[in-house]
Chain A
Amino acid sequence: MKRRNFLKLSGLTGSTLLVPGFLKAFEGQLAKFTGKRLVIVQLSGGNDGLNTLIPFTNDTYYKLRPKLGITQDKILKINDLAGFNPAMDGFRRLYDEGLMSIFNAVGYPNPDRSHFRSMDIWHTASNSDEYLNTGWLGRLLDANCPGSENAWHALEVDDTLSLAMKGQFKSGFAVKDPQRLKQITSDPFLAEIEKNGSASEATGELSFLYKTLAQTTSSAAYIAEKASIKTNSSVYPQHELGNSLKQIASLIAAGMESGIYYTSISGFDTHVRQQESQNRLLGVVSDSIYAFTKDLREANALNDTLVIVFSEFGRRVKQNASNGTDHGTANNLYIIGGGLKKAGMQNNLVSLTDLDNGDLKHTLDFRKVYATLLNKGIGFGHEQVLGRNFELMDFI
């Protein structure tokens, strides 16, 4: 596809009139749930990758992080070169069990060090100098199921919807507490409003609004019903991320036909006294995901699920004067699941000496990972979603 046309489709020009030809061409092809799912776990704030997966044989690491560097004896080693943060026993076990792929030095050209801008780039899968209104998962929905009335094809466990989940024609569905949402949408006045809408001859924007409302109430009912079927056996950390993943596990176990789940955990912007807060958060991430995989295995769903863990950027190599780290660039990305073809390290650890103004250089474009997830993970051509062709990887 020509770049220009893609930008049009991505909502950059804001035209909502045309249903693009390629969407029609794909209509129906994947309108049904394929049984494969992606679960995105976003670490907001810029997680320090170097204290997550520690290159413990690298002298530069200890030299540039005299206070923050984690000593060898505490590190949960996974090979001769690297090991996990001491709080991440869950990740170490997943790695040992062959359920995890690790990607090093992941980023994009001309990195942006602003949280919101860099997060937008990860959400829209754009270049760093282009601005898209739609997210990569939203565009997947656009191309995947344009005619579908089911708004819960992509579910975000939160009160608001992330840009990643917004398409031009279709968007994901945000719900934090299914029972509370059900209660809100069960308001008799809302039912009256909806009835009035279906009786009226709404066109244009009004019809769009009524359709969104109808999808919201029907989806809320469906999700609440699914959420009430199964309880999990795993024990999750008492934390929002633990609760979210627990929620997702029970929906999957109940047979929810949703291909995308999205959840996030914030607090990784560790400019000051990083050690304590980052360790605590990484412990939550590691334990939550470990519990999640246990539940999925029990539900016979682990082989069809890929969990993706990312952050908008990593941090600078050198620690700052407040025993923290400042905004950086390239970072690790983790994929966890039962159906990995190639588990373990996917590429070399990031270089700590070949730096760009003190920042790590990326060697792997995150969109290559997205492309592979789309093509091989859930079986959909990635060019339509990402706007161009990326070379596929072989981890799945």
Chain B
Amino acid sequence: MTEAQKIAHLHRRAGFGLNIRESANGQIKEHVDKILGANKTYNALFLPGEEKVTTGELLSMDKEERKEILQDLAANIKRLNLEWIKEMGKAEGQLREKMALFWHGHFAVRVRGYSQVEQYINTIRKYALANFGELLMAVSKEPAMLKFLNNQQNRKNSPNENFAREVMELFTLGRGNYTENDIKEAARAFTGWNFNEEDEFELRANQHDYGVKTVFGKTGNWDGEDIIKMILERKETALFVTRKIYKFLVNENIDEQRVLALANRFYDAKYDIPTLLREIFQSDWFYNEPNVGSLIKSPIELIVGLNRTFGISYTNSQPLLAVQRVLGQTLFFPPNVAGWAGGRNWIDNSTLLTRLSLPKKLADADQLDYAVKNNMDDENPNESSKPNPKFRLECNMNWELFSKKFENTPEDQQWQALQQHLLASKNLLKLPELLAVRLNGKSLQERIKLMSMYITRTPEYQLA
């Protein structure tokens, strides 16, 4: 692998691939520094011109008004989805968005209140590159989380264990590293964790169980924060989280010893996320052949990757919501609290064909011709599932700028150069005769477009 290919690999994993304006020149170390450095600042995601409607305000409305506002808010979640996609497409700061996507799947929630969704995703984005302990504490106090995992019903004398269970099973320790009794007792410590009408976290003292609890063999007057701290003290948490990050950023096939070593240092670094990421990105093994092109891109990675590579600008990006649905990953609508399964789960006959046709639909700004299953959507299960004219993509690929990358490449080497630019896979494709014929006498821009539209429609392009 050339240095440039390694750098491209880094950007595919640490982000969504190089943006049309970025180049793979330079040294790996410089790029790692740049990626980690560019991600120091954080800006909240929001909908321009939209005022926040709190739960309290909703409650004070009359029925008709509330219904109308709720419909607007449901639409706002979709708009925020597209805003985030847009943010992911921007030139810099991709590591934050990539990790936020990871944490969104890790701390998966699915609620209908727009302001709660906005607040939740911004907490995730804000702490995505901070410290796992802080992230865990902040997300645990998000109204979206407390609502989704029924902690509003978790009260003294009638505990609801849902939140306590998922915190241990899915967010930190993993199965087998806690007992049923730990969950029962921890649930008592989280009683009264709730939020007010302004969607701010609050501990409701009259619902909180102030009694003595025994968790992980320790007995004390524990509250929810104590439990989270005790969970973080346990090395199993570092291992569980590191494993999952490794699967997301490196390879689904785990090198156990390597993960254990990473987890130990993650734990010693007090769960500092950038320390862990830097170690991964600066390791030689990260660039070894078995780890390159070994992941199947998630639908979001595929969509955002295309947007970045070809500098796609949208006048109507609404249909991307339908694309996300059909491909099985809609932001803010994870399938359940366990998040997206990922890997080969993304692929079946229909998602594969949709993936292979997507680049051309974008290039032609074409109408999506498939029906979307939306009966799983709690918002609008009665909505028609027929192909809809509003699914027409309105977008432009920047072929002029993209083809400039190859203006100094001799014609007979463009096919290969383009593949090295677009694919993570080491398998090189043969130039099909059908295509070779069509390239004859075409301009650089035309040639590059025709070849790109072939390369991006291959199984190879599904790999990162």
Contacts and interface: CB of A to CB of B under 8 A. Distances in A.
A115 B434 contact: no
B443 to A, nearest CB: 21
A75 B293 CA distance: 62
B265 to A, nearest CB: 24
B425 A45 contact: no
Contacts of A172: 348
Contact of A184 (B175, B353, B432): B353
Given A161-B349, A205-B344, A209-B459, A188 B434 contact: yes
B58 to A, nearest CB: 18
B187 to A, nearest CB: 13
Contacts of B175: 4
Contact of A216 (B349, B425, B458, B460): B349
Interface string A250-291: 000000000000001011110000000000000000000000
Nearest to B339: A131
A160 B374 CA distance: 11
B25 interface: no
Interface in A116-131: 116-117, 119-120, 129, 131
A219 B430 contact: no
A335 B336 CA distance: 29
B348 A161 contact: yes
B347 A266 contact: no
Contact of A206 (B293, B338, B435, B457): B293
B429 A196 contact: yes
A197 B353 CA distance: 15
B345 A45 contact: no
Interface residues of B, number: 56
A209 B454 CA distance: 16
Nearest to A199: B430
Most-contacted residue by chain B among A46, A159, A161, A166 (CB, 10 A):
A159
A174 to B, nearest CB: 4
Contact of B427 (A120, A173, A200): A200
Contact of A209 (B162, B347, B381): B347
A44 B375 contact: yes
B252 A206 contact: no
Nearest to A121: B336
B137 to A, nearest CB: 24
Interface string B278-302: 0000000000000001111000000
Interface in A150-207: 151, 158-163, 166, 171-176, 184-185, 188-190, 192-193, 196-197, 199-202, 204-206
Nearest to A161: B348
Given A129-B165, A193-B459, A208 B434 contact: no
B375 A266 contact: yes
A133 interface: yes
A144 B353 CA distance: 25
B335 interface: yes
A45 B375 contact: yes
Given A189-B454, A216-B352, A208 B378 contact: no
Interface in A364-392: none
B392 to A, nearest CB: 17
B432 A115 contact: no
Contacts of A185: 353
B52 interface: no
A159 B432 contact: no
A189 B175 CA distance: 47
Interface string A127-150: 001010100000000000000000
Interface in B326-383: 326, 335-338, 341-345, 347-353, 356-357, 370-378, 381-382
B381 A269 contact: yes
Contacts of B337: 131
B405 interface: no
B117 to A, nearest CB: 16
A215 interface: yes
B377 A116 contact: yes
B356 A166 contact: no
Nearest to B426: A206
A374 B458 CA distance: 38
A17 B385 CA distance: 36
A133 B339 CA distance: 10
A14 interface: yes
Contacts of B253: 17
B418 interface: no
A150 B405 CA distance: 43
Given A14-B341, A44-B381, A201-B427, A215 B349 contact: yes
A350 B333 CA distance: 34
Given A45-B375, A45-B381, A158-B371, A14 B342 contact: yes
Nearest to B455: A193
B463 interface: yes
Interface in B443-464: 454, 457-460, 462-463
A205 B430 contact: no
Closest 4 pairs between A and B when the two form their complex, measured CB to CB: A44-B375, A209-B459, A133-B341, A266-B375
16 contacts: A4-B175, A14-B247, A115-B377, A115-B378, A159-B370, A160-B326, A160-B372, A161-B350, A176-B371, A185-B353, A196-B429, A202-B459, A204-B294, A266-B385, A267-B382, A268-B381
Interface of A: 4, 11-12, 14, 16-17, 44-46, 114-117, 119-120, 129, 131, 133, 151, 158-163, 166, 171-176, 184-185, 188-190, 192-193, 196-197, 199-202, 204-206, 208-210, 212-213, 215-216, 219, 264, 266-269
Given A200-B427, A266-B381, 12 more contacts: A11-B341, A131-B337, A159-B372, A160-B351, A161-B351, A173-B348, A173-B349, A193-B458, A199-B430, A204-B294, A268-B381, A269-B381
